[in-house]
Structure 1
Amino acid sequence: MPESRTSESRTSESRTSGSGGPQGSGPLLEVTGVTKTFGHGRRRLTALDGVDIQLGRGETLGLVGESGCGKSTLARVLLGLERPDAGTVRFDGTDPFALRGKELLAWRRRVQMVFQDPFASLNARMSAADLIGEPWRTHRDVVPDAKAREKRVRELLALVGLRDSDAHRYPNEFSGGQRQRIGIARALALDPDLIVCDEPVSALDLSVQAQVLNVLSELRERLGVAYVFISHDLSVVRYIADRVTVMYLGKVIEHGATEDVFERPQHPYTSALMSAAPVLDASRASGDREIQLKGEIPSPFDIPSGCRFRTRCPRAEERCATQAPPAAVRETPGAASHTALCHFPLAAA
């Protein structure tokens, strides 16, 4: 895996929106107090519980946490596929859930998706050119004629490191990494402002992961596209993300600049995740503050009272069971605020 980049190399100039209009001056994406539950009657599963995130233009936000923490549900909300029960979503200042008809169709151009499995997400009966141009069947005004579409396909293939001759090949003729490049090219076909990447490299070999991550990074620098990057692999997130959001049982429990979170985690759960991650360099292994992640994650149908991590936390005390933890905030010069929901944040240890 390539070494993580410095924050200076993670900046990008603003760009025009995928709908052709100028972007506003505020954040590209603001999610405030979003809650989403599933089920009926008393038996309801809490997938998201008061989630707040913010994403700047041309920025990458990493979402991490164990399976069942709410990452994929949040992704579906950001894509407009799930309507939140409470809270607000603002994309470039607009509530996408209030849009209808042509306005909604125009907004959907601006948010695209790269899926986890590059083979399952591609129609095996369609050529690379057809797959990349598939979004234009719905958004006909983006590339209006066949000649222009053929030219644009070649441009998109080149952007992701494929050849003109690959346009007429089928998914089974490509490697896993090449298929994912086709998926990325398809996501770029509508010139989006945001791409939601749901475990986009987890199905790939390590060397191929690095290639795809480099493609994503280069495209961000070149096009100014923003990413919400979901992954279980902390080394991947550390490499590609500007900021990291850690989720546990549907709630954001830690958030901050990537290097600050990785070097100085405040929440015991974040520290435990990092302790559990493989470390090839012994000099970077955790020392006295290593926290082992023990026990099973509680059921989202029955979330623990107080601090939801207390049943697995070695630092838990009596008030952790009765009081919701406050937000511990640490200000770092030159970086975004680093926050953690914890009665006893590690920074205070």
Structure 2
Amino acid sequence: MSESRATTATPGPPADGPRENPPLLEVRGVTKTFGSGRRRLTALDGVDLRIGRGQTLGLVGESGCGKSTLARVLLGLERPDEGTVRFDGTDPFALRGKELLAWRRRVQMVFQDPFASLNARMSAADLIGEPWGTHRDVVPGAKAREKRIRELLSLVGLRESDAHRYPNEFSGGQRQRIGIARALALNPDLIVCDEPVSALDLSVQAQVLNVLSELRTRLGVTYVFISHDLSVVRYISDRVTVMYLGKVIEQGDTENVFERPQHPYTAALMSAAPVLKPTRDARHQEIHLQGEIPSPFDIPSGCRFRTRCWRAEDLCATRTPPPVVRETEDAAEPHTALCHFPLEAGSAWV
């Protein structure tokens, strides 16, 4: 895995340049704030990312970093203050009426809590078919819908006879499978998964993750996968985006980010991830960050991570770090980070 040296890019979208296949989703310079005056919170600050068709993008970061707000923007539930969102070349926020309704079919969600996201008074069949009440032309006719419900149940590893059972009759993993089947009912291109296995036992997590992976292979669906569990993200994701206080601070192919992080914050996250074969290598020694996460109402000047960074220097307090690009021969996309003093590939993290 040979690599070229890291270079400092000019400010702007860090993953720019010609590519063979246009992305399914592209976000450029998206900013989202809440409140006003001194109580103005910047939830997203100049976010750039892109997702290719059939890819899984893992979205990681501590609580409050902006992951959920970004998910709401991708779903069209929050309008960005600045920046652009392009879904298959179209700006979803410019759509109205039937065009907007048609777009909403293409983007669906799997929720975190399978116990709270399903109506206890509805059967599995009713839950899966619920989206067709709004999008009536997707599967027209009662017989066609009954057939499609059976197909979806089978697709997520449930029995056809489960169609008439209620949520309280299923385990947590089975409920999440119903949630996945409901998300698939409209034949979406993109599914946003918000911590979809965090409420499940480890063995059940593996089953649900395998279902998601198999569906991607069979249907070509694209995922945005939000999780705090780095082992889960590493297992399911093609690319990883790391966020800190509303900013994307590193992104790249999964193995490059996990094995050769550039940003100290990413290195700290990865050092805390469990490894199957612990070694004395400094890269596998856990990094304990000092101090608390700064308030999103009072983001530090310069590099927003500098107050907790062991590599910070005076420059970090006065200048916002530019994107640094590490080109890799074995990756389809550049590996980028926002850091004045990025970690060298293969070097110790501490």
Give TM-score scaled by structure 2 length: 0.91
* Match in the other structure for 1:325: 321
Question: Post-superposition shift, 1:247?
Answer: 0.2
Question: Quick one: distance in 2 between partners of 1:286 and 1:256?
Answer: 22
* Match in the other structure for 1:71: 67
* Match in the other structure for 2:196: 200
Question: Post-superposition shift, 1:25?
Answer: 5.3
2:40 is paired with a residue whose SS is: strand
Question: Quick one: distance in 2 between partners of 1:220 and 1:325?
Answer: 36
Q: Which runs of 5+ in 2 are unaligned?
A: 1-19
Residue 56 of structure 2 aligns to which amino acid in structure 1? T
* Match in the other structure for 2:13: none
Contact 2:111 2:193 in 1 (8 A): yes
* Match in the other structure for 1:346: 343
Contact 1:46 1:301 in 2 (8 A): yes
Matched, 1:134 2:126: no
Structure 1 residues 201-210 or 331-340, which shifts more? 331-340
In the alignment, which of 50, 64, 68 is matched to residue 46 of structure 2? 50
Residue 337 of structure 1 aligns to which amino acid in structure 2? P
Matched, 1:89 2:67: no
Relative distance call for 1:290 and 1:36 in structure 2 (3 A) is: same
Relative distance call for 1:279 and 1:295 in structure 2 (3 A) is: farther
* Match in the other structure for 2:271: 275
Relative distance call for 1:264 and 1:181 in structure 2 (3 A) is: same
Relative distance call for 1:29 and 1:284 in structure 2 (3 A) is: farther
Question: Post-superposition shift, 1:327?
Answer: 1.3
Relative distance call for 1:266 and 1:136 in structure 2 (3 A) is: same
1:282 is paired with a residue whose SS is: coil
Question: Quick one: distance in 1 between partners of 2:37 and 2:124?
Answer: 47
Write out per-residue CA displacement over residues 170-195 of structure 1, whole angstroms, 9 at most, x where no aligned residue.
00100000000000000000000000
Residue 341 of structure 2 aligns to which amino acid in structure 1? F
2:35 is paired with a residue whose SS is: strand
Residue 67 of structure 1 aligns to which amino acid in structure 2? S
Structure 1 residues 236-245 or 285-294, which shifts more? 285-294
Question: Quick one: distance in 2 between partners of 1:301 and 1:248?
Answer: 14
Contact 2:237 2:254 in 1 (8 A): yes
Contact 1:306 1:325 in 2 (8 A): yes
In the alignment, which of 248, 264, 275 is matched to residue 252 of structure 1? 248
Question: Post-superposition shift, 1:329?
Answer: 1.0
In the alignment, which of 218, 222, 227 is matched to residue 226 of structure 1? 222
Could you list the runs of 4 or more consecutive aligned residues of structure 1 that deviate by over 4 angstroms after TM superposition?
none
Question: Quick one: distance in 2 between partners of 1:321 and 1:299?
Answer: 16
Residue 334 of structure 2 aligns to which amino acid in structure 1? S
In the alignment, which of 169, 179, 193 is matched to residue 183 of structure 1? 179
Question: Quick one: distance in 2 between partners of 1:60 and 1:212?
Answer: 15
2:58 is paired with a residue whose SS is: strand
In the alignment, which of 156, 160, 163 is matched to residue 160 of structure 1? 156
Question: Quick one: distance in 1 between partners of 2:248 and 2:135?
Answer: 35
Q: Percent identity?
A: 86
* Match in the other structure for 2:108: 112
Question: Quick one: distance in 1 between partners of 2:49 and 2:142?
Answer: 40
How many residue pairs match? The answer is: 326
Relative distance call for 1:148 and 1:288 in structure 2 (3 A) is: closer
2:232 is paired with a residue whose SS is: helix
Structure 1 residues 288-297 or 103-112, which shifts more? 288-297
Question: Quick one: distance in 2 between partners of 1:288 and 1:37?
Answer: 37
Give TM-score scaled by structure 1 length: 0.91
Residue 330 of structure 1 aligns to which amino acid in structure 2? R
Question: Quick one: distance in 2 between partners of 1:127 and 1:247?
Answer: 38
Write out per-residue CA displacement over residues 303-326 of structure 1, whole angstroms, 9 at most, x where no aligned residue.
000000000000000110001112
Contact 1:268 1:291 in 2 (8 A): no
Question: Post-superposition shift, 1:283?
Answer: 3.6
Residue 64 of structure 1 aligns to which amino acid in structure 2? V
Matched, 1:300 2:296: yes
